[in-house]
Structure 1
C-alpha cells in the first residue's frame, strides 16, 4: 500500500527529471549520431519542503521512514499553478494501447486536453504512471479523445483503467541508499527527498 504525506505544508521547491533509457550512439569515425529509443522512460522529482515545526515534521518523518523501507510513496504531481480544468472521469478506452497515442473516454464533453498537461494512469494494482500530453485537442460530445503523450506507455493498461487529469499523482521509491533530514537551532526541520517512478 502506497504511503501518502500530510497535505500541509505543500512543497516549496520541485525539480522534475525525465529518465531516458534510450541510447545515443556516436560513431568513432565521425558519422551521424544515432538515437536508439528504448521503452521504460519515466519521471523522477526532487522535492523540498519549507521549515517545519517539530509536531508537523515528526509526521512527515514517520511516513517517509516507512516509504523508504517499503518503496511505495505517492504524492501529488506538482502542476506549479497550472489549472487543468474539470476533465470529468476519464478512463482508458480500449485495452492493450501502446506507444505514444492515448485514447480515453469519460471526459467532460468538449474538455480540452492541452499540450503540456500532466496525467497519471492507474493500473490494476493501483500503481500510477505519469505522462505528459503532446497535443492540444478537445474531447468529442461523447467524451472520447485520442492524443499524443510522452514518455511512451510503459504497459498495456486494461480497458477502463482510471486516468487522473485534474490532479495527477506520482508514485515510486525514495532514491538513494540513505535519507536524512536537518534541524536548526530554532528547532525547525528541513525535509527533502528524491522520488523516482518505480516502473
Structure 2
C-alpha cells in the first residue's frame, strides 16, 4: 500500500458513500421499500495544492505506483479534533452489523457523532476500512466502548484488530486517471486522483 510523501496534504476532497442498496418502487402504488445490501463503502476524490517540480515528482511517482498497489491517505477531518482516543482495538472476533465493541482506549473518551475511524483487519499495517460514528459513545472507566457506525461492518474483524480514531485513513485503489497539469516556473498544479475502498 502506497502512502503520499510527508507534507502532501490534499487541499480539497469530495467524499462519496457508495451504496449498493436501493429503493424499490412497486408498480401498484404500494409503499416504497428500502433494500439494504452489504458492502457499502467510501470513495474520495482529492486534489493536491500547487507543488514545485521536485516535490511533485515524488507525489506523481507514488500515485502512479498506487494504481496497481493501492493508496493509503489520511481522511481530511477539516480541522475537527477527534481527541486522544488511546489505543482502541476490537474486543471480540466475528462482530457484524453496525455495532462494534472496542477496548484499550482512553477512559471516558467521547467518540462524537460524525467522527471518522478506520478499523484494520489486524495491526496498523494491514488493510483499513473507513467508518463514520453514527451516534456518540463514551468509553467507560476501563476504556471499553461500543460504537454504532456507518456503513455496517464489512468483514468479521479479528479480536485485537487495530482501530484508528486520531488519524483515520481511507485505503483502496486509485480509480480512473491520475491527472496533473504542468505550469510554467517548474510548478505542478491541479494534481488530482480518486481513491476507492476495494472491499
TM-score, structure 1 normalization? 0.95
CA apart distance, 1:86: 0.5
Partner Cα separation in structure 2 for residue 134 and residue 14 of structure 1: 21
Match of 2:54 in 1: 55
**Residue 13 of structure 1 corresponds to which residue in structure 2?**
12
Q: Please give the alpha-carbon distance, in whole angstroms, between the structure 2 residues aligned to 1:69 and 1:197.
A: 14
Q: Pairwise CA RMSD of aligned residues?
A: 1.2
What residue in structure 1 maps to residue 63 of structure 2? 64
SS of the residue aligned with 1:27? coil
Structure 2: 5+ residue runs without aligned partners? none
State the Cα distance separating 1:102 from its structure 2 match: 1.1
* Range moving further from structure 2, 184-193 or 5-14: 184-193
| Separation of aligned partners in 1, 2:104 and 2:68 | 37
Give the structure 2 partner of residue 4 of structure 1: 3
Instruction: Summarize the Cα distance change of 1:31–1:186 in structure 2 as closer, same or farther, 3 Å threshold.
Output: farther
Q: How far apart, in 1, do the equivalents of 2:188 and 2:68 lie?
A: 21
TM-score (norm 2): 0.95
Figure out how many residues of one structure are paired with residues of the other and give that number: 196
Partner of residue 29, structure 1 = 28
Deviation at 1:33, TM superposition (A): 1.4
2:149 matched residue in structure 1: 149
Cα distance in 1 for residues equivalent to 2:197 and 2:8: 23
Check conservation: 2:51, 2:188, Cα contact below 8 A.
Answer: yes
Q: Residues of 1 paired with 2:21 and 2:121: CA distance?
A: 24
Structure that is richer in strand per residue:
2
